[in-house]
Chains A and B, each alone.
Chain A
Amino acid sequence: RKEVEQDPGPFNVPEGATVAFNCTYSNSASQSFFWYRQDCRKEPKLLMSVYSSGNEDGRFTAQLNRASQYISLLIRDSKLSDSATYLCVVRSDSNYQLIWGAGTKLIIKP
């Protein structure tokens, strides 16, 4: 089993819709969680950190569920420019390295 798992998609979503996807992690000792965004043929960029209490940044909401060991990303009122691959990143307590998911591809259609 992979340490960090994501549905590869693609998620095809009409513009203006709400979309959500999850990322599961296997190490219950994991401490820090992030969502990075990677546009086609570009480098990853930090989208947001995921805090225990959840956090919101504009149209984006990230949540952490420690009991079920997953994090989620919700995008409201999706825009064409939201089309990208969303990478889930986890840091465990025992290993200071970041573990990267393979990403979920999102395509917003007009």
Chain B
Amino acid sequence: DVKVTQSSRYLVKRTGEKVFLECVQDMDHENMFWYRQDPGLGLRLIYFSYDVKMKEKGDIPEGYSVSREKKERFSLILESASTNQTSMYLCASSSGGASFRVDNEQFFGPGTRLTVL
């Protein structure tokens, strides 16, 4: 069974803290994605990666960075957390790589609900 795991289900941080969200997939997928989901807005893409050490900005990369040192792991970093980054963060993976076979199904982790106080 395919699996995407995220390091925490719930996280509470203070403004200005550095926050690391980890995502691991066991499907040997090339593509990995970080989204945030807010009520009434749908999923918004923060960053994605189609290969190790490769990263591309999504729609809302400001205030975030990512790291992909290994194929199975994609980390999202909030350098200095702010209250407007309170959200549900979803990691996803899909096969396809640089061919951008984004029509391939995306498999999601359970999400991390981050609250920044």
Residues in chain A within 8 A of chain B (CB atoms): 4, 8, 32, 42-46, 49, 87, 91, 96-98, 100-103
Contacts and interface: CB of A to CB of B under 8 A. Distances in A.
Q: Which applies to chain B's interface (DSSP): helix, strand, loop or mixed? A: loop
B41 interface: yes
Contact of B42 (A45, A49, A101): A101
B103 A102 contact: no
B43 A45 contact: no
Interface in B38-68: 39-45, 48, 58-59
B26 interface: no
A46 B102 contact: no
B90 interface: yes
Interface string B103-117: 101101111000000
Contact of A91 (B48, B58, B102, B110): B102
B42 A46 contact: no
Contacts of B111: 43
Contacts of B42: 4, 87, 100-103
A103 B43 CA distance: 10
B115 to A, nearest CB: 15
Nearest to A3: B42
B43 A100 contact: yes
A110 B42 CA distance: 28
Contacts of B20: none
B102 A43 contact: no
27 contacts: A4-B42, A8-B40, A32-B102, A42-B110, A43-B90, A43-B110, A43-B111, A44-B106, A44-B108, A45-B108, A87-B43, A91-B102, A91-B103, A96-B100, A96-B102, A97-B48, A97-B59, A97-B102, A98-B45, A98-B102, A100-B35, A100-B44, A101-B42, A102-B39, A102-B40, A102-B42, A103-B42
